[in-house]
Structure 1
């Protein structure tokens, strides 16, 4: 998008500047006319190159901005009357590009260069220094203020977009990631799991008797419990694990493990963390946790694989509920027909503690 935008601006500048070649007495005779024509041709080549490549870096934009400043100077020195045929407002092209695409110090460099270029370009049009300085202050001031204003507007928009994107990935109550965040991180986890040759583990945690707590003590107490549980889990998961709230009192953890025993140890640590979480009012809860593991297959869609794995972990969580709550469990499950190459690891809660069955392992 940046490459195409700059290409359009450069092409528009070349087109408008080329009109002067068709008007008599605008360009100085002799070498100036050839220099002017070569400059317009250079602009056209730059625009075509950017449009074809459709890629541009920040340093390239910085170089093009400085080149634009220099080109304006060449144009001003090539025309018979810069005040009529090469007004400094032509530098708005470079000013807006610098303000919208460059870093702060790069923009400052352009702002410093602008009055120097304007002064050199208009020096031949004024007999006295005072008149030149006034014109430079007016023209360069307008250009720099316009660029600075666009830069400030851009930074505010960037901060607003960053804040909006963060809110779209976070649960507002607990501060944990939400479903969108979980899906985004699944791509990283699946890719790293295949590279390292380890399994992906999904854990679904459901707070026990949470509805009764809400009914007995109110939703404010329930919200406080969710926040304390979220804080306890955040302190207990590994740095590479992804912790998210699926909805209500259900949370999920996505991570990588070398074997089922490691997954069981992590789940037990999370179960103890939930049981040890306490609100300011003294409310505590426990959690039932279901585990499912998979070996990601090459070419498998990580998001589809994520939700298949969470479905298995959810089924395991319900078995933990039926087994008495406040425990960890898994259940064997058939291999998903849409992912024939994936190896789903499952077993009973007792097997996870000792010899764990690897159902459907390749």
Structure 2
């Protein structure tokens, strides 16, 4: 196990800066997931930790040792790629064994390590097969086994499940989490899939345009997003964002509020004519324009005077097209003009016939 630290990392290609002064600590033994849209710099960051790319400036420390000048093979890390990179003419055993042979590990020790790792990843019955005879999930396990047999301090994984179908990807996510618990090793995992990030990581690192947006636990990222980008990137559907130009709110203490956000599951729907207190909530009329039935939950898309809102409801309730929409003050998030989240100001609605007006 090892802690990984990135200190003021800058990376430029052809005079274009793709990583901009990144400061990040990846705790010893954590399952840290780097997530963000395409081109945000997450894979470049992983490749710099692996030694496949050199930072333009800044320091990379693994286990408190500066590794900027160390070759990849001397960093005590192992990397699992998106395309598995297996040797098609070798058996499963030979693929796992390849790195051990290069390190001149004695044959008896090689056999012991291969048997041990194959048992952990469920490949004991497949050691004599070629990669072409395996399923996608089995090939992924071979790639993991080949990395594990080195017993590295840090595992680096670059979108390793992206080539699998949805059902197998879900299964492999569970297996990777179980594997992390067994090994207790530091995992650094790159994905563009926020569901994958939220379900697997104990630390989520969200990046955009080469900059760190937030690094925190999944629960903190979801419930206390650092800025509007995180609020809209994390969550399915994403957080509803309402511009304050459309809100007739009275702020009871000074605040530079530019936008207000609320998660879809925090919005409450009511049938018309119900008596709803406006002391603790914004209440407005709405029209349901679409429904998505997803089994245990239903997504409603509701047109209101402040724009279209996504609403997530649980259970079997069914609402007619014309409804009342309740936005509790306690569930609102507030953002300034730069998009940063600010402490919730005390708010109230000006007394008018319609509590929220365009």
- Structure with greater proportional helix content: 1
TM-score range, shorter chain: under 0.3
TM-score, normalised relative to structure 1 = 0.24
Whose RCO is larger (CA < 8 A, sep 6+)?
2
Larger Rg computed on CA atoms = 1
TM-score, normalised relative to structure 2 = 0.24
